[in-house]
């Protein structure tokens, strides 16, 4: 290929990351006009990825190459001679293994997935699966990282072709989940499984069974990310769990108790970052909403409540719009009260609230008041006949000597007023003086 063509393309790519806006505009215009409509830009961009000493230019070349291959249903790619396409397919697998910069590796993997989207569907890249098997089982961690990310990228773009190889995919992903050295490999395997899950149908009994067997491994990888306070890896993992929760295929059916306990354990761990704890509690909320039948059948409301109320005892941030573990704990309590029968939720909650109101810790008393308040909406008709016996709880909250408990009692009372209006009216002679006293309390 003409070295001058490649050099001019390299120069223009470098100019698109220059600090001068005018230079960027001119270079972009030249690229679009003189290069990106020409099939020759594909081998030229690949050559830059493989040989440029400038990692920023290699990264940009990879991004642009993926676009050129994908545009117009692969029109430019297919316009290349078959021999040239075969050469690029061979060399790009060698290039990505030798690339040292993570961002460039990931962008190059996206190039491979773009090529695979055309060539695998045409059954014209027989070497790709053996490459994936070899790289993901390499004794070198960096090679396994490359192989796992290429696998994940290809699965995202052309899962139909790879799903036919599920007998090879499951053992490969199972092996990657327990990689002895690299968290990147393990979490990429989790992400790949999240993609695969979306294409498993209810009638794919063997695949469902294989996937269910990997759920403990998935939870273990996310727990490792949480323990290491690796927010990005944990987020990827919880995103996968939320995907599994909304799918109709019963991939999580046998693991709901484990998933609930997993979320509660991380959510309660004050040694973990608040961001990861919030991810876990959000995941619990999704579990309650999307797997309510399973939670009801397994009578999980009581142990969930027992774990959530201590989290609710933690201090809240001053900003009312800011999420926190304590606020998300109460959101999960609300979800339980909303989706489950009140008979499963309010009796154990009442027992907990009564005990917590006797605690010398104001945080626990605050948690009692807040938990009572957020369950009123979902359990209002169940609560209504018992409200006379419940007023002493609110009275205790109003007269508490700690302001955080009084505030929680006011919030709980507002919930009662909204959903049990008649009961509040009947007691106005007692309630109004208490409220006025609180309003005048400095």
Kindly list the averaged pLDDT for each block of 10 residues, start to end, along the chain of length 442: 90 91 93 93 96 95 96 93 95 95 95 93 88 94 96 87 75 95 97 93 91 97 96 97 95 95 97 96 97 96 97 91 95 97 96 95 96 94 89 90 92 90 77 72 62
Secondary structure (3-state) at 212: helix
Q: Return the closest-CA partner of residue 146 out of 173, 183, 120, 108.
A: 108
Q: What's the whole-model pTM score?
A: 0.90
Q: Identify the pLDDT of residue 162.
A: 74
Q: Identify the pLDDT of residue 442.
A: 56
Task: Tell me the backbone φ, ψ of residue 40, rounded to 5 degrees.
Answer: -65, -20
Q: How many CA atoms lie within 13 A of 385 on its CB side?
A: 2
Alpha helices in 228-361 (DSSP H): 231-246, 256-268, 274-290, 292-297, 301-312, 325-339, 342-356
Q: Identify the pLDDT of residue 429.
A: 66
| H or E element at residue 277 | helix 274-290
- What distances in angstroms separate CA 301 from CA 306, 379, 395, one per listed residue? 9, 14, 27
Cα(89)–Cα(127) distance, integer angstroms: 9
Cα(269)–Cα(36) distance, integer angstroms: 52
Residue pair 42/88 in contact by the 8 Å Cβ criterion:
yes
Q: Dig out the tokens for 248 from the structure.
A: 């109709």
Q: How far is CA 330 from the centre of its chain?
A: 21
Q: How many CA atoms lie within 13 A of 337 on its CB side?
A: 25
* Neighbour-count burial for 251-278, b at 16+ CB within 10 Å, e otherwise: bbeebbeebbbbbbebbbbeebeeebbb
Residue pair 233/183 in contact by the 8 Å Cβ criterion:
yes
What angle do the packed helices 362-383 and 403-419 form, to 10 degrees?
Answer: 10
Cα(76)–Cα(38) distance, integer angstroms: 7
Cα(239)–Cα(224) distance, integer angstroms: 16
Cα(306)–Cα(304) distance, integer angstroms: 5
- What distances in angstroms separate CA 97 from CA 124, 184, 346, one per listed residue? 22, 15, 58
| Dihedral sign (CA 127, 133, 136, 139) | negative
Q: Dig out the tokens for 414 from the structure.
A: 């507002």
Residue pair 369/411 in contact by the 8 Å Cβ criterion:
yes
């Amino acid at each position: 290929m003409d070295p001058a063509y490649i050099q001019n393309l390299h120069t223009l790519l470098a100019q698109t990351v220059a600090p001068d806006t005018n230079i960027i505009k001119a270079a972009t215009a030249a690229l679009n006009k003189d290069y990106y409509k020409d099939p020759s830009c594909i081998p030229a961009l690949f050559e830059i990825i493989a040989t440029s000493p400038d990692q920023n230019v290699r990264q940009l070349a990879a991004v642009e190459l993926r676009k050129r291959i994908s545009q117009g249903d692969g029109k430019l790619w297919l316009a290349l001679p078959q021999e040239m396409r075969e050469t690029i397919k061979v060399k790009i697998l060698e290039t990505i293994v030798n690339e040292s910069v993570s961002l460039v590796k990931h962008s190059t993997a996206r190039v491979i997935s773009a090529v695979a989207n055309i060539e695998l569907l045409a059954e014209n890249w027989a070497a790709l699966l053996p490459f994936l098997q070899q790289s993901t089982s390499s004794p070198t961690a960096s090679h396994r990282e490359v192989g796992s990310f290429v696998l994940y990228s290809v699965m995202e773009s052309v899962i139909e072709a790879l799903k036919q190889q599920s007998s090879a995919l499951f053992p490969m992903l199972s092996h990657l989940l327990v990689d002895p050295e690299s968290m990147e490999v393990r979490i990429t395997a989790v992400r790949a499984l999240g993609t695969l899950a979306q294409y498993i149908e209810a009638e794919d009994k063997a695949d469902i069974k294989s996937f269910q067997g990997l759920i403990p491994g998935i939870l273990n990888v996310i727990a490792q990310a949480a323990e290491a306070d690796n927010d990005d890896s944990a987020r990827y993992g919880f995103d996968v769990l939320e995907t599994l929760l909304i799918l109709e295929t019963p991939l999580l059916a046998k693991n709901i108790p484990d998933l609930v306990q997993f979320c509660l354990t991380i959510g309660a761990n004050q040694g973990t970052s608040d961001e990861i704890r919030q991810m876990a509690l959000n995941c619990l909320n999704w579990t309650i909403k999307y797997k309510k039948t399973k939670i009801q059948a397994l009578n999980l409301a009581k142990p969930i409540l027992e774990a959530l109320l201590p989290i609710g005892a933690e201090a809240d941030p001053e900003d009312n719009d800011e999420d926190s573990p304590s606020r998300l704990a109460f959101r999960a309590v609300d979800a339980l009260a909303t989706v489950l029968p009140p008979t499963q939720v309010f009796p154990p909650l009442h027992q907990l609230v009564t005990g917590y109101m006797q605690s010398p810790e104001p945080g626990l008393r605050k948690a009692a008041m807040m938990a009572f308040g957020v369950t009123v909406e979902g359990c209002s008709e169940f609560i209504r006949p018992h409200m006379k016996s419940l007023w002493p709880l609110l009275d205790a909250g109003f007269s508490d000597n700690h302001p955080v408990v009084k505030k929680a009692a006011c919030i709980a009372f507002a919930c009662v007023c909204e959903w049990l209006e008649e009961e509040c009216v009947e007691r106005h002679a007692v309630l109004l003086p208490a409220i006025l006293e609180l309003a005048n309390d400095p």
